[in-house]
Amino acid sequence: MLKIKKITVEGLEYGCFTDVQNPRFCITLESDRNGATAKSHRICISKNGEVVRDTGTVESSETLYLCCPGADLAPYSEYTAQITVCDDAGESACGEVSFETAKLDEDWSGRWIYDKRVKLEKNVIAPVRFAKNFDAKKPSKARLYITAVGNYFCTINGEKVGDQFLSPGWTTYKAQQQYQCYDVTELIGESNTIEAVVSGGWAVGRMFAMIGKPSGGAVAKNTMLLAELHLSYENGHTDIIATDKTWLSAPDGAYTAASIYDGVCFDARCDTAVLNYKKVSVTTPKMVGRLLATYGEPVRKTVELSPVSSHESKKGGMIYDFGQNIAGVVHLKVKGAAGGEKIVVRHTELLREGEIFTVNLRTAKATLEYICKSGDQDFYPELTFMGFQYIRVQGIDSSKIEVSAIAFTSANRSVGSFECSNSELNKLQSNTRWSGMDNFVDIPTDCPQRDERLGWTGDISVFASTACFNFDMSRFFEKWLLDLRAEQDKKNGALPFVIPAGKYGIFKTHSAAWGDCCVLVPWAQYLSGGDKTLLERQYESIKLYVDGCAKHCKDKKKPFIKSSPRFWGDWCAPEGNAVTWFSKAPWVGTLYWANSAFILAKIAKILGKDDDAAKYNELGKNISDAYLKEFTDGNGVLKAPFQTGYVCPLYFNMYDGEIRETMAQELRDNVVNNGNKLSTGFVGTPYLLFALSDNGYSDTAYDVLLQEECPGWLYEIRCGATTTWERWNGLQPDGTIFLKGDESDKRSYDPEDQTIACMVSFNHYAYGAVGDWLYRRVAGIEAIEGGYRRFKIAPVVGGKLDWVKAIHESNYGTIVSEWKISDAVFTLNIEVPFNTVCEVTLPNGESSELGCGKYEFSCKM
């Protein structure tokens, strides 16, 4: 029987509000008939039971990213799409999904409002409370459309609207900004108060603090609010309560300070009825571009963690350990406060000699100050977040307080799991996922704790593929890529180092790996999700970038050696410092350029642009030839050997035959001579194990994976890591914090601590990109065509693993690869989703091709 398992519209099963006229539908089906495929589909969209669009029967085997074009959809309307799919045996299945249009192109009747009295001073801006009282009849439907310059949270009659944090999210505001749509029908009574507190957030204040400096680059000077509450009645009438001159604002609410890096000060004694309210001012902000209904992934709570232990701090107060490094906020429950007690909570990733270690936060205060009202109270801060595992709570008797930690993320939909017989690898998988979740806070960040938390492009370049195995990244990446396109130089394709760029946007270039994010991120998402329209949308951006790299070949006689820019080379390699990492930029730049050219050629082919496909293949080959000539002896042996210099050409498939063999052998020897340890930085590490295992050295790949000394993934696990670190030697073998860094880097020198704490984040995901190898080689699941329409299962056994089980919920359906070795027999159980083809290869080399179904194979080891 053919069955519909799931339908999404614009990537969501439920709760889709959209400004898209042509929403995309993905249909996940299952069939008990092995090998079944789709033959045709039909989509009908109706409103109030009346069909408004109908595709008729479409003869196509595609079931992902289908559209149903037709007459314009109307704003503020609820639609249902009925979808029928027929398979190749004539069976059919039916299902439906609902969505609601937001404002589409309707003008806003609300005005942007702000409080003239509240200004940005020394990069700090106080939170503003906006409020409006209104009477209403009970509506049949109430919707709130709302956004802010800054971050906001909104309440109606004291109840928080929605379950999101840090709205409206972070975008390249001048190009586009999200507004949120909420169903608030249940919150409306007869006499109502709508309130919103707006802080500087990502838009106004000191985001983008340049390494260790307190000042930053505000995008705007005032915080602002824009809202429309639509109250619809049975008789068809709609009342709109919109932000306008009649709203009031106050600069002196319970939130006396709120910012992303520094945290929140909250006075619970504050009576919000008697604040210094004044009528608001209205304006038309210049820094806000198109307003679009939320199209990204909002930040939402995942879990709330209780402390696993606590002890008294020598400096007063209690220290609590939540057992997991998270991004989020603390939740306080206070009993029997006298009123006026000031609780101060500091957040840290680590303890040092039993006390909180805050040096690696640089200038981020990451502090909650909470002044109690009298009696019992329950509080967690909005408008900020911290990266922490430990807190120190001072200012209250510990018997009166209970604490927990709210972890939040935009990576809300898990689509993958990996488990095996080695518990330390399972911990590694867990750490990789946590670093993903902790760093997907509306945008892909580098770290959640110190005064950066920026959309560093190189980090996501290397982690995107691992992210896609674990989480549904489609909306998250689409949103970020829209900003990427907005930030990109329209003439030469150069990109800023962080996106959204803010002040960093002043400098745009084609830095190796960091710049290549415009190729690597959409490509990873396409392979995982299968949306060709994403490739279409990104195509010009990719081409512009790949073409633009040519201008960095400074030596005219060497037109394919990308000798500049010197950012960031083999960044964070275990040996050396920024100077030595940067010096590798010509190698890394040239290699990543070749890879981007080859990927662009593949994309061109998929989009039917055959001329471009040939052109960029040729470019990739020319760059490969040039690399061989410039950096090797001509046969593949590097003149100045380093692991990344071999890893990339191997993984990027730049050479065949003897050259490839030579490079693989050199790499393997280098690794073995290095005690089975990696010496790769951000840009080589994700591909190191592939470069070994795909060229006959899977034993060495496993040796590196299972390396227990520094640098090595298990080293971190043995030091107690719960997330992946920015630097391998973040902690020394005795568990003490790495105190020596690049001594020349005065910017990060902390005289009090005698510590160079420039770069010791314990929550960076780049090295977690090894998760990709766990899924793609250990479990063996690898997409060949976008969305796993065609894929491989070819496990690489080794590392003394007895069993492995990986699951990936692809858009076509569940993929399972589960193997075990017992009595020298290898057994593989797999699940292949409807409408896909799987090429299975067993460790003995036997292979077969299968359509959907569940299968078991075995062979002798």
Written as one letter, the residue type at 164 is Q
Report which of 300, 117, 285, 116 is spatially closest to residue 203, judged by C-alpha positions. 285
Q: Taking a C-beta distance cutoff of 8 angstroms, is the pair 361, 450 a contact?
A: yes
* Closer by beta carbon to ligand BGC, 539 or else 581: 581
Residues that bind ligand BGC (CB under 6 A): 446-447, 452, 456, 458-459, 568, 571, 764
Q: Is 452 a catalytic residue?
A: yes
Nearest-approach distance from CB 516 to ligand BGC, in angstroms: 13
- Write the DSSP string, 375-393: EEEEE---S--EEEEEEEE
Nearest-approach distance from CB 520 to ligand BGC, in angstroms: 14
Nearest-approach distance from CB 743 to ligand BGC, in angstroms: 18
Nearest-approach distance from CB 567 to ligand BGC, in angstroms: 7
Local structure of residue 718 (DSSP, 8 states)? H
Residue ranges of alpha helices (H) inside 167-240 are none
* Closer by beta carbon to ligand BGC, 452 or else 531: 452
Query: Per the structure block, which two tokens stand in for 708?
Result: 């227990």
In angstroms, the CA 366 to CA 804 distance is 40
E strand segments, 739-780: 749-750, 755-756
Q: 281, exposed or middle or buried, with CB in 10 Å at 0-12, 13-18, 19+? A: middle
Strands 263-267 and 367-371, by their bridges, are parallel
Contacts of 711 by beta carbon, 8 Å cutoff, 6+ apart: 574, 677, 678, 679, 728, 729
Strands 191-199 and 278-279, by their bridges, are unpaired
* Closer by beta carbon to ligand BGC, 50 or else 743: 743
Nearest-approach distance from CB 857 to ligand BGC, in angstroms: 42
Longest CA–CA span in the chain (Å) reads: 82
Strands 176-183 and 814-822, by their bridges, are unpaired
* Closer by beta carbon to ligand BGC, 10 or else 446: 446
Residue ranges of alpha helices (H) inside 332-422 are none
CA separation, residue 80 to residues 45, 50, 94, 441, 479 (Å)? 6, 10, 13, 31, 25
* Closer by beta carbon to ligand BGC, 134 or else 582: 582
Local structure of residue 360 (DSSP, 8 states)? G
* Closer by beta carbon to ligand BGC, 44 or else 769: 769
Contacts of 795 by beta carbon, 8 Å cutoff, 6+ apart: 777, 778, 779, 780, 804, 817, 819, 828, 843
Local structure of residue 399 (DSSP, 8 states)? G
The radius of gyration computed from the CA coordinates of the chain, to the nearest angstrom, equals 27
The length of the chain in residues reads 861
Q: How far apart are the first and last CA of the chain?
A: 37
* Closer by beta carbon to ligand BGC, 252 or else 452: 452
* Closer by beta carbon to ligand BGC, 120 or else 211: 211
Q: Which of 100, 452, 487, 666 is catalytic?
A: 452
Give SS3 for 663. helix
* Closer by beta carbon to ligand BGC, 762 or else 773: 762
Q: Which of 195, 666, 726, 809 is catalytic?
A: 726
Written as one letter, the residue type at 136 is A
In angstroms, the CA 176 to CA 479 distance is 10
Nearest-approach distance from CB 545 to ligand BGC, in angstroms: 18
Nearest-approach distance from CB 580 to ligand BGC, in angstroms: 14
Q: Which residues are tagged catalytic?
A: 452, 726
